[in-house]
Amino acid sequence: MRYRMLGDVRVGAIGLGAMPLSIEGRPDEARALATVHAALDAGVTLLDTADSYHPPGGEAGEGELLVARALASYGGRTDDVLVATKGGRGRTPDGGWTVDGRPAHLRRAAEASARRLGVEAIGLYQLHKPDPQVPYAESLGAMRELLDAGTIRLAGVSNVDVEQIVLARRILGERLASVQNRYSPEVRTTEAELRLCAELGLVFMPWSPLGGISRSSLDGTSALREDRRFGGFHRVARARGVSPQRVALAWLLSRGETMLPIPGASRPETARDSAAAAELVLSPTELAELSV
């Protein structure tokens, strides 16, 4: 496993997105725990979840409780594992998603997340999405209060544009550590945000990083058939004798030292395959084929 710096913490260059383990279509508990354990065995040290990662009608924080159980039941070392969670979103009974960026809600949500994770301070707490009904500066102010109070160690923002990143940096300073936006072979619309993160030294954690190669957890977990638009990933994969998903993650890592993909997984073998992407170094010729 290669490593990257997230704030002042060294983490594996590939993380694990735990969303598929706790939303609709999730595996049973035994397989979910085995998936997290397989990722840890493979050198993954960043686990990403959220208080809203639960099925419709479920309880807030089910995903966080699962991550806590996985760490507690793991037989190896966990003191170097950074758990990242998010607040500011919720679920509706029909499976939709809500947004709540009110400062009072964020403070309560972070405190509840810390209790569920069983920690005094959350390693990385991310504002899940800007709330159009709340000035973004007010939501960020709540994040600053959580940092000052020691409820969270590092802060991150998600689903943001360049102006919002700049504002977050102004309000949170050096304690802003990460940005989590959608980015993948299929979705490359956040290039400006990726460049800004590189300039500021912020980790860019792409969610749904395998888009175009696999489905997002938001769309379902079954594999897609080969898409001609992304044929280069499949051609390189066949030549290398690896999965196209592993090639896609290696391609993402090549985009810069601040890139840190967090692919989801719901099976141990998938978690192991994703982690192995950290050791796959693509040639300039291969990268040129994948960048079209």
Q: Point out the residues that are catalytic.
A: 53
Q: Supply the DSSP string of 115-159, one letter for each residue.
A: HHHT-SSEEEEEE-S--TTS-HHHHHHHHHHHHHHTSEEEEEEES
Q: How many CB atoms neighbour CB 52 within 10 A?
A: 27
Residues in contact with 268: Cβ distance below 8 Å, sequence separation at least 6, in sequence order: 31, 34, 35, 37, 38
Name the 3-class secondary structure at 47.
Answer: strand
Asked if 183 contacts 209 with a C-beta cutoff of 8 angstroms, the reply is yes
3-state secondary structure of 186: coil
Going by C-beta distance under 8 Å and a sequence separation of 6 or more, which residues neighbour residue 260? Answer: 4, 6, 11, 13, 14, 15, 46, 178, 203, 204, 205
For residue 121, what are the contacts with CB-CB under 8 A and spacing of at least 6?
Answer: 114, 150, 151, 152, 153
Q: Is 263 left (phi over 0), alpha (psi -120 to 50) or beta?
A: beta
Q: Which two tokens stand for residue 105?
A: 């809600």
Tokens representing residue 227 in the block: 């898409």
Question: CA angle at residue 222 from 237 to 190, to 5 degrees?
Answer: 65
**Burial state string for 147-172 with b = 16 or more CB within 10 A and e = fewer than 16:** beeebbbbbbbbbbeeebbebbbebb
Pick the closest to residue 38 from 218, 272, 203, 274 (CA basis): 272
